Amino acid sequence: MTSFTRGRGLRVTGWSSQLPDNIVTNRDLEKSLDTDHDWIVDRTGIHSRRVGGTTSSLSIESGRAAIESAGLTPDDIDVLVLATTTPDRRVPQTAAGVQHELGITGGAFDVNAACSGFVYGLAVADGLIATGANHVLVIGTDTLSTITDWTDRSTAILFADGSGAMVASAVDGPGNLLSWSLGSDGELERHLYCEHDGKMIMNGKEVFRSAVPSIVNTSREALDRAGLTIDDIALVVPHQANVRIIEAACKRLGAPMDKVAVSIDHTGNSSSATIPIAFDEAEAAGRIQSGDLVLLTGFGAGMSSASAVLRWEP
Protein backbone atom coordinates (compact mmCIF):
# COMPACT_ATOMS: atom_id res chain seq x y z
CA MET A 1 0.00 0.00 0.00
CA THR A 2 1.32 3.42 -0.80
CA SER A 3 -1.20 6.21 -0.65
CA PHE A 4 -4.84 6.79 0.13
CA THR A 5 -6.84 8.45 -2.64
CA ARG A 6 -10.60 8.24 -2.46
CA GLY A 7 -13.72 10.17 -3.31
CA ARG A 8 -15.35 9.67 0.07
CA GLY A 9 -13.86 9.70 3.55
CA LEU A 10 -14.88 9.92 7.19
CA ARG A 11 -15.24 12.75 9.65
CA VAL A 12 -15.78 12.09 13.37
CA THR A 13 -19.07 13.78 14.27
CA GLY A 14 -19.76 12.30 17.70
CA TRP A 15 -17.79 10.69 20.50
CA SER A 16 -18.17 9.55 24.07
CA SER A 17 -16.82 7.18 26.70
CA GLN A 18 -18.17 5.24 29.61
CA LEU A 19 -16.48 3.89 32.72
CA PRO A 20 -18.11 1.54 35.24
CA ASP A 21 -18.90 3.23 38.59
CA ASN A 22 -16.93 0.76 40.68
CA ILE A 23 -13.40 2.03 41.43
CA VAL A 24 -10.82 -0.58 42.49
CA THR A 25 -7.72 1.02 43.99
CA ASN A 26 -4.28 -0.49 44.42
CA ARG A 27 -4.98 -0.49 48.16
CA ASP A 28 -8.04 -2.67 47.49
CA LEU A 29 -5.85 -5.14 45.58
CA GLU A 30 -3.29 -5.19 48.39
CA LYS A 31 -5.95 -6.88 50.56
CA SER A 32 -6.10 -10.01 48.40
CA LEU A 33 -2.81 -10.03 46.46
CA ASP A 34 0.87 -10.07 47.38
CA THR A 35 1.43 -6.62 45.89
CA ASP A 36 1.64 -3.00 46.97
CA HIS A 37 0.50 0.38 45.76
CA ASP A 38 3.98 1.80 45.26
CA TRP A 39 5.13 -1.17 43.16
CA ILE A 40 2.06 -0.93 40.91
CA VAL A 41 2.45 2.85 40.44
CA ASP A 42 6.17 2.55 39.80
CA ARG A 43 5.96 -0.36 37.34
CA THR A 44 2.68 0.52 35.55
CA GLY A 45 1.49 4.07 36.37
CA ILE A 46 -1.86 2.71 37.57
CA HIS A 47 -3.43 4.09 40.78
CA SER A 48 -6.94 2.72 40.30
CA ARG A 49 -9.06 1.03 37.67
CA ARG A 50 -12.78 0.66 36.91
CA VAL A 51 -14.48 -2.72 37.12
CA GLY A 52 -18.09 -3.60 36.34
CA GLY A 53 -20.85 -3.83 33.76
CA THR A 54 -21.02 -6.06 30.74
CA THR A 55 -19.61 -5.45 27.28
CA SER A 56 -23.19 -4.82 26.08
CA SER A 57 -24.21 -2.48 28.88
CA LEU A 58 -21.09 -0.31 28.61
CA SER A 59 -21.39 -0.25 24.80
CA ILE A 60 -25.02 0.81 24.95
CA GLU A 61 -24.11 3.77 27.19
CA SER A 62 -21.12 5.00 25.19
CA GLY A 63 -22.84 4.31 21.85
CA ARG A 64 -26.00 6.18 22.79
CA ALA A 65 -24.03 9.19 24.02
CA ALA A 66 -21.87 9.25 20.88
CA ILE A 67 -24.94 9.20 18.60
CA GLU A 68 -26.47 12.04 20.62
CA SER A 69 -23.27 14.08 20.50
CA ALA A 70 -23.28 13.71 16.69
CA GLY A 71 -26.81 15.16 16.63
CA LEU A 72 -28.06 11.95 15.02
CA THR A 73 -30.65 9.32 15.86
CA PRO A 74 -30.01 5.55 15.94
CA ASP A 75 -31.92 5.31 12.66
CA ASP A 76 -29.15 7.28 10.95
CA ILE A 77 -26.50 4.65 11.75
CA ASP A 78 -25.88 2.36 8.79
CA VAL A 79 -23.47 0.01 10.56
CA LEU A 80 -22.36 -0.61 14.15
CA VAL A 81 -18.79 -1.91 14.46
CA LEU A 82 -18.09 -3.15 17.99
CA ALA A 83 -14.43 -3.75 18.76
CA THR A 84 -14.16 -6.17 21.65
CA THR A 85 -12.11 -9.12 22.78
CA THR A 86 -14.56 -9.88 25.60
CA PRO A 87 -17.90 -10.59 23.90
CA ASP A 88 -20.70 -11.29 26.37
CA ARG A 89 -21.38 -14.64 24.67
CA ARG A 90 -19.64 -16.75 22.07
CA VAL A 91 -22.71 -16.48 19.83
CA PRO A 92 -24.18 -14.12 18.76
CA GLN A 93 -21.92 -11.14 18.20
CA THR A 94 -22.29 -8.70 21.11
CA ALA A 95 -23.02 -5.96 18.57
CA ALA A 96 -26.41 -7.59 17.88
CA GLY A 97 -27.83 -6.90 21.36
CA VAL A 98 -26.29 -3.42 21.40
CA GLN A 99 -27.83 -2.65 18.00
CA HIS A 100 -31.25 -3.79 19.25
CA GLU A 101 -31.08 -1.84 22.53
CA LEU A 102 -29.95 1.34 20.79
CA GLY A 103 -32.62 1.01 18.10
CA ILE A 104 -30.11 0.96 15.25
CA THR A 105 -31.73 -0.41 12.11
CA GLY A 106 -28.52 -1.00 10.13
CA GLY A 107 -25.99 -3.82 10.31
CA ALA A 108 -23.93 -4.76 13.35
CA PHE A 109 -20.87 -6.91 13.87
CA ASP A 110 -17.91 -7.39 16.22
CA VAL A 111 -14.24 -6.88 15.42
CA ASN A 112 -11.71 -8.67 17.61
CA ALA A 113 -8.17 -7.35 17.33
CA ALA A 114 -7.55 -7.28 21.11
CA CYS A 115 -6.25 -3.93 22.35
CA SER A 116 -5.75 -2.68 18.78
CA GLY A 117 -9.45 -3.25 18.09
CA PHE A 118 -10.67 0.34 18.16
CA VAL A 119 -8.20 1.52 15.51
CA TYR A 120 -9.00 -1.57 13.42
CA GLY A 121 -12.68 -0.59 13.81
CA LEU A 122 -12.00 2.94 12.55
CA ALA A 123 -10.17 1.53 9.52
CA VAL A 124 -13.18 -0.73 8.85
CA ALA A 125 -15.50 2.28 9.18
CA ASP A 126 -13.36 4.17 6.69
CA GLY A 127 -13.77 1.31 4.20
CA LEU A 128 -17.53 1.10 4.79
CA ILE A 129 -17.84 4.83 4.19
CA ALA A 130 -15.67 4.70 1.06
CA THR A 131 -18.14 2.16 -0.33
CA GLY A 132 -21.39 3.89 0.56
CA ALA A 133 -22.21 4.01 4.30
CA ASN A 134 -23.21 7.46 5.59
CA HIS A 135 -22.77 6.98 9.35
CA VAL A 136 -20.85 4.20 11.11
CA LEU A 137 -20.82 3.87 14.89
CA VAL A 138 -17.49 2.47 16.11
CA ILE A 139 -17.46 1.31 19.72
CA GLY A 140 -14.48 -0.10 21.62
CA THR A 141 -15.51 -1.96 24.76
CA ASP A 142 -13.85 -4.52 26.95
CA THR A 143 -14.63 -6.13 30.26
CA LEU A 144 -11.25 -7.69 30.90
CA SER A 145 -12.24 -8.21 34.54
CA THR A 146 -14.37 -11.15 33.37
CA ILE A 147 -11.32 -13.00 32.02
CA THR A 148 -8.84 -11.93 34.69
CA ASP A 149 -7.56 -14.36 37.31
CA TRP A 150 -7.89 -12.13 40.36
CA THR A 151 -5.36 -14.26 42.23
CA ASP A 152 -2.66 -13.62 39.59
CA ARG A 153 -0.80 -10.45 40.55
CA SER A 154 0.90 -10.17 37.18
CA THR A 155 -2.40 -9.49 35.40
CA ALA A 156 -4.91 -8.47 38.11
CA ILE A 157 -3.12 -5.18 38.71
CA LEU A 158 -3.43 -4.19 35.03
CA PHE A 159 -6.80 -5.15 33.64
CA ALA A 160 -10.06 -3.21 33.78
CA ASP A 161 -13.38 -2.47 32.08
CA GLY A 162 -14.58 0.45 29.98
CA SER A 163 -16.00 1.66 26.69
CA GLY A 164 -15.54 4.47 24.19
CA ALA A 165 -17.26 5.32 20.92
CA MET A 166 -17.03 7.54 17.85
CA VAL A 167 -19.52 8.23 15.09
CA ALA A 168 -17.80 8.31 11.68
CA SER A 169 -19.81 10.20 9.07
CA ALA A 170 -19.24 10.40 5.33
CA VAL A 171 -17.77 13.51 3.71
CA ASP A 172 -16.82 14.20 0.10
CA GLY A 173 -13.11 13.91 -0.57
CA PRO A 174 -10.52 11.96 1.40
CA GLY A 175 -11.95 12.87 4.81
CA ASN A 176 -10.18 13.20 8.14
CA LEU A 177 -8.79 9.72 8.67
CA LEU A 178 -5.61 10.55 6.81
CA SER A 179 -4.01 7.12 7.07
CA TRP A 180 -3.84 3.90 9.01
CA SER A 181 -1.35 1.10 9.51
CA LEU A 182 -2.47 -2.31 10.77
CA GLY A 183 -0.15 -5.10 11.87
CA SER A 184 -0.20 -8.60 13.29
CA ASP A 185 2.54 -10.98 14.40
CA GLY A 186 0.82 -14.26 15.23
CA GLU A 187 4.13 -15.90 16.04
CA LEU A 188 3.96 -14.03 19.36
CA GLU A 189 0.38 -14.96 20.25
CA ARG A 190 1.59 -17.36 22.95
CA HIS A 191 2.65 -14.40 25.11
CA LEU A 192 -0.91 -13.16 25.77
CA TYR A 193 -3.98 -15.32 25.37
CA CYS A 194 -7.14 -16.64 26.96
CA GLU A 195 -8.70 -20.02 26.14
CA HIS A 196 -12.49 -20.39 25.96
CA ASP A 197 -13.82 -20.32 29.54
CA GLY A 198 -10.28 -19.62 30.79
CA LYS A 199 -8.47 -16.56 32.17
CA MET A 200 -5.79 -14.34 30.68
CA ILE A 201 -2.29 -15.80 30.59
CA MET A 202 0.46 -13.23 30.04
CA ASN A 203 4.20 -13.17 29.72
CA GLY A 204 4.49 -9.52 30.71
CA LYS A 205 8.14 -9.08 29.84
CA GLU A 206 7.70 -10.43 26.29
CA VAL A 207 4.57 -8.35 25.73
CA PHE A 208 6.46 -5.26 26.92
CA ARG A 209 9.38 -6.08 24.65
CA SER A 210 7.26 -6.36 21.50
CA ALA A 211 4.82 -3.55 22.38
CA VAL A 212 7.29 -0.71 21.99
CA PRO A 213 8.49 -1.55 18.44
CA SER A 214 4.93 -2.32 17.31
CA ILE A 215 3.73 1.10 18.41
CA VAL A 216 6.73 2.78 16.82
CA ASN A 217 6.53 0.84 13.53
CA THR A 218 2.81 1.26 12.84
CA SER A 219 2.96 4.90 13.98
CA ARG A 220 5.82 5.66 11.59
CA GLU A 221 4.05 3.85 8.77
CA ALA A 222 0.79 5.75 9.37
CA LEU A 223 2.71 9.05 9.50
CA ASP A 224 4.60 8.20 6.29
CA ARG A 225 1.39 7.28 4.49
CA ALA A 226 -0.11 10.63 5.50
CA GLY A 227 3.05 12.47 4.41
CA LEU A 228 3.64 13.70 7.97
CA THR A 229 6.26 13.52 10.70
CA ILE A 230 5.74 13.19 14.43
CA ASP A 231 6.35 16.95 14.77
CA ASP A 232 3.09 17.57 12.89
CA ILE A 233 1.11 15.66 15.54
CA ALA A 234 -0.61 17.73 18.24
CA LEU A 235 -1.51 14.76 20.44
CA VAL A 236 -0.61 11.07 20.55
CA VAL A 237 -3.40 8.91 21.98
CA PRO A 238 -1.84 5.53 22.76
CA HIS A 239 -3.34 2.31 24.08
CA GLN A 240 -3.10 2.46 27.87
CA ALA A 241 -1.36 -0.77 28.94
CA ASN A 242 1.55 0.51 31.02
CA VAL A 243 2.82 4.09 31.32
CA ARG A 244 6.38 2.80 30.89
CA ILE A 245 5.45 1.31 27.50
CA ILE A 246 3.86 4.63 26.50
CA GLU A 247 6.93 6.60 27.63
CA ALA A 248 9.42 4.28 25.91
CA ALA A 249 7.46 4.21 22.62
CA CYS A 250 6.86 7.98 22.57
CA LYS A 251 10.50 8.66 23.31
CA ARG A 252 11.52 6.53 20.32
CA LEU A 253 8.92 8.23 18.18
CA GLY A 254 10.15 11.65 19.26
CA ALA A 255 6.90 12.73 20.93
CA PRO A 256 7.36 14.61 24.22
CA MET A 257 5.03 13.44 27.00
CA ASP A 258 3.21 16.79 27.05
CA LYS A 259 1.88 15.75 23.62
CA VAL A 260 0.66 12.35 24.85
CA ALA A 261 -2.73 11.45 26.35
CA VAL A 262 -2.38 9.36 29.51
CA SER A 263 -5.40 8.12 31.42
CA ILE A 264 -4.12 4.77 32.68
CA ASP A 265 -3.61 6.15 36.20
CA HIS A 266 -7.39 6.04 36.84
CA THR A 267 -8.64 3.64 34.13
CA GLY A 268 -6.23 0.69 34.02
CA ASN A 269 -6.09 -1.32 30.80
CA SER A 270 -9.55 -1.86 29.30
CA SER A 271 -8.19 -3.12 25.95
CA SER A 272 -10.26 -1.88 22.96
CA ALA A 273 -11.69 0.91 25.10
CA THR A 274 -8.55 2.72 26.22
CA ILE A 275 -7.91 4.75 23.06
CA PRO A 276 -11.42 6.25 22.73
CA ILE A 277 -11.55 6.84 26.51
CA ALA A 278 -8.18 8.63 26.53
CA PHE A 279 -9.28 10.58 23.45
CA ASP A 280 -12.58 11.63 25.04
CA GLU A 281 -10.85 12.75 28.23
CA ALA A 282 -8.17 14.71 26.34
CA GLU A 283 -10.80 16.42 24.19
CA ALA A 284 -12.87 17.32 27.26
CA ALA A 285 -9.73 18.76 28.87
CA GLY A 286 -9.21 21.06 25.87
CA ARG A 287 -6.07 19.25 24.69
CA ILE A 288 -7.38 18.75 21.12
CA GLN A 289 -8.34 21.77 19.03
CA SER A 290 -10.09 21.87 15.68
CA GLY A 291 -7.55 21.32 12.91
CA ASP A 292 -5.17 19.34 15.13
CA LEU A 293 -3.61 16.13 13.86
CA VAL A 294 -3.98 13.24 16.29
CA LEU A 295 -2.10 9.94 16.21
CA LEU A 296 -4.06 6.99 17.61
CA THR A 297 -1.83 3.99 18.28
CA GLY A 298 -2.42 0.61 19.86
CA PHE A 299 -0.98 -2.86 20.27
CA GLY A 300 -2.20 -5.98 21.98
CA ALA A 301 -2.66 -9.71 22.01
CA GLY A 302 -1.99 -11.39 18.71
CA MET A 303 0.32 -9.49 18.75
CA SER A 304 -1.83 -7.01 16.93
CA SER A 305 -0.88 -3.40 16.29
CA ALA A 306 -2.65 -0.45 14.73
CA SER A 307 -2.08 3.27 14.24
CA ALA A 308 -4.07 5.96 12.49
CA VAL A 309 -3.76 9.69 11.88
CA LEU A 310 -6.91 11.71 12.36
CA ARG A 311 -7.41 15.36 11.52
CA TRP A 312 -9.69 16.67 14.26
CA GLU A 313 -12.45 18.74 12.67
CA PRO A 314 -15.54 17.76 14.64
Enzyme catalytic residues: 115, 239, 269
Which CB atom, from 99 or from 271, has the smaller least distance to ligand UT7? Answer: 271
Query: Is residue 169 within the footprint of ligand UT7 (CB under 6 A)?
Result: no
Which CB atom, from 46 or from 108, has the smaller least distance to ligand UT7? Answer: 46
Query: Is residue 207 within the footprint of ligand UT7 (CB under 6 A)?
Result: yes
Which of 69, 208, 230, 265 lies at the binding interface for ligand UT7 (CB under 6 A)? 208
Which of 139, 211, 222, 295 lies at the binding interface for ligand UT7 (CB under 6 A)? 211
Query: Is residue 112 within the footprint of ligand UT7 (CB under 6 A)?
Result: no
Query: Is residue 204 within the footprint of ligand UT7 (CB under 6 A)?
Result: yes
Which of 242, 263, 272, 297 lies at the binding interface for ligand UT7 (CB under 6 A)? 242
Write a three-state SS string for the chain. Answer: CCCCCCCEEEEEEEEEEECCCCEEEHHHHHCCCCCCHHHHHHHHCCCEEECCCCHHHHHHHHHHHHHHHCCCCHHHCCEEEEECCCCCCCCCCHHHHHHHHHCCCCEEEEECCHHHHHHHHHHHHHHHHHCCCCEEEEEEEEEHHHHCCCCCHHHHCCECEEEEEEEEEEEECCCCEEEEEEEECHHHHHHEECCCCCCCEECHHHHHHHHHHHHHHHHHHHHHHCCCCHHHCCEEEECCCCHHHHHHHHHHHCCCHHHECCCHHHHCECHHHHHHHHHHHHHHCCCCCCCCEEEEEEEEHHHEEEEEEEECCC
Query: Is residue 256 within the footprint of ligand UT7 (CB under 6 A)?
Result: no
Query: Is residue 153 within the footprint of ligand UT7 (CB under 6 A)?
Result: yes
Query: Is residue 270 within the footprint of ligand UT7 (CB under 6 A)?
Result: no
Query: Is residue 184 within the footprint of ligand UT7 (CB under 6 A)?
Result: no
Which CB atom, from 143 or from 176, has the smaller least distance to ligand UT7? Answer: 143
Query: Is residue 43 within the footprint of ligand UT7 (CB under 6 A)?
Result: yes
Which CB atom, from 73 or from 151, has the smaller least distance to ligand UT7? Answer: 151
Q: What residue is closest to ligand UT7 based on CB?
A: 204
- Residues near ligand UT7 (CB under 6 A) are 35, 39, 43-44, 115, 153-154, 157, 202, 204-205, 207-208, 211, 241-242, 245, 269, 300
